[in-house]
Amino acid sequence: MSDRQIEIEIASEVRPVVARAQQMIRPALFAGVAVLVALCVIEALREPGTAVGALILGVGLAVWGTLRIVRDPRRVSNAVILLAAVAALTVWVLVAFSRMQSEWAMLAGVALCLVTPPVALLVVGVGLLVNGVVVTRREGVRIATLTAPVVGVGLLAVVGALYVTVGPVHLPIWVVGAAMACLLLGLLVVVQLVAFTVYAVLYGRLAPDVDANVIVALGCGLAGDRVTPLLASRLDRTVAAYDAALAAGANPTVVVSGGQGPGETVPEADAMADYLVSAGLPDSVIVRERCSRNTDQNLRLTRTALREHGLEPDDYRFTVVTSDFHVMRSAELTRRVGMNAHVVGARTASYFVPTAFLREFVGVLAMHRRGNLVVAWAIIALVAVLTIVSYLPIAVVRD
């Protein structure tokens, strides 16, 4: 018996045990959360006011977000709803601190609300600048490698705008207005970045569909005709997904998706297929999609390739394999193209994760550019109106 067959047999024995343990733990976890929420509601009702409103709003948003996740965890908007729930519950905690006759409670409230956010932005901003230096030394200076330092400078600019807006320095009103606009626009991006980051981590921890009918490996570029380390990690993850599906009793089809880009001597799909065959997968289970140039095309043309092989994609469950930083945007795209899919990620070199992840976040912002532009223009208009009004001579009428 080969090592591969031994691994499959071990996986087939271990996975049912893990599944039963999860089934036992989940009800207890939900029950514990329900009891905690009930205690919070009872405590808030004893002190009516802002705390009750913040608690009800926070719990309501949390329940709504949870139901959306259960229905379809691939929606990036789930992250914003859950972050809003956390914000509302944070207000509840701050109100509770303000009612406590304790210096420690007041210090905790000030630290949570006023100190932690700007300090966190400073630390992350400096960290991204350092990471940018590391990435450019290893990968060279390109637009992609400059993403982290550019975002780092942006975070430091947000902290500077906060100081100009609420700091002790007296500046012209128009300068303060411009700083306020920059601060609010920066916070618009930062809030979404935090939501996206946290939700991407949560989504990555969801259990994959081990008995999927189709496994799709997304390409990410070749070095001539050779598989790069980044692509190799995706293909290794594809092999693991294939073995897991076999252990679960499925007989999956594997689609390798990727066209031929600049500097590549063969289509990515062909090089990917050769790699998988050398890793032990039968060539008969592999479908090659050779025309795609980006993730959206990967998914849409995969559906076309399956139909050409007599398989109706709407009848199958998919596991899509990509890099860990690319999981969330790929998941959103699978939903948009109508795939019943779960996306799993392969590990990426740690030094490259911030740059790659931020690049994906920019892609998500572009996917939702209309909503972001509407909010951004609304912020600019509001600050402009307030700035203009502050210059108007307003007479105070006294009785």
pLDDT, tens only, 199-214: 888 888 777 777 788 9
Question: Rounded to an integer, what distance in angstroms lies between the CA atom of residue 292 and that of residue 261?
Answer: 9
Question: Given a cut of 70, is residue 357 above it in pLDDT?
Answer: yes
Over residues 66-80, the pLDDT tens digits come to 888 888 888 888 888
Over residues 109-142, the pLDDT tens digits come to 666 667 778 888 899 999 999 998 888 888 788 7
The DSSP symbol for 224 reads: B
pLDDT of residue 50: 61
pLDDT of residue 48: 57
Of all helices (H) and strands (E), which one includes residue 128? helix 116-139
b/e per residue 23-47 (b: at least 16 CB within 10 A): eeeeeeeeeeeeeeeeebeeebeee
* DSSP of 309-361: TT--GGGS-EEEEEEGGGHHHHHHHHHHHT--EEEEEE---GGGHHHHHHHHH
pLDDT band at 7 (very low <50, low <70, confident <90, very high): very low
- What number is the average pLDDT over the span 231-239? 94
pLDDT of residue 352: 86
Give the pairing type, strands 341-346 and 214-218: unpaired
Question: Rounded to an integer, what distance in angstroms lies between the CA atom of residue 342 and that of residue 345?
Answer: 10
**% of the chain residues with pLDDT over 90:** 30
Choosing among 3.40.50.620, 3.30.530.20, 3.40.120.10, 3.40.50.1820, the CATH entry for 214-348 is 3.40.50.620
Mean pLDDT lowest among 21-25, 140-144, 155-159: 21-25
pLDDT of residue 173: 86
User: The tokens 């690319």 sit on which residue?
Assistant: 326
- What number is the average pLDDT over the span 16-36? 55
What is the SS3 assignment for 172?
coil
- What number is the average pLDDT over the span 158-180? 85
Q: To the nearest whole number, what is the mean pLDDT of the chain?
A: 82
pLDDT of residue 205: 78
Angle, helices 173-204 vs 77-99, to 10°: value is 110
pLDDT band at 302 (very low <50, low <70, confident <90, very high): very high
Tell which residue, 175, 206, 233, has the closest CA to residue 349: 233
Say if residues 205 and 69 touch (Cβ distance below 8 Å). Answer: no
Say if residues 203 and 240 touch (Cβ distance below 8 Å). Answer: no
Question: Given a cut of 60, is residue 21 above it in pLDDT?
Answer: no
- What number is the average pLDDT over the span 24-38? 58
Question: Given a cut of 80, is residue 52 above it in pLDDT?
Answer: no
Give the pairing type, strands 253-257 and 226-227: unpaired
Say if residues 109 and 95 touch (Cβ distance below 8 Å). Answer: no
pLDDT of residue 393: 74
Give the pairing type, strands 214-218 and 253-257: parallel
pLDDT of residue 45: 57
pLDDT of residue 8: 44
* pTM (2 d.p.): 0.76
pLDDT of residue 69: 86
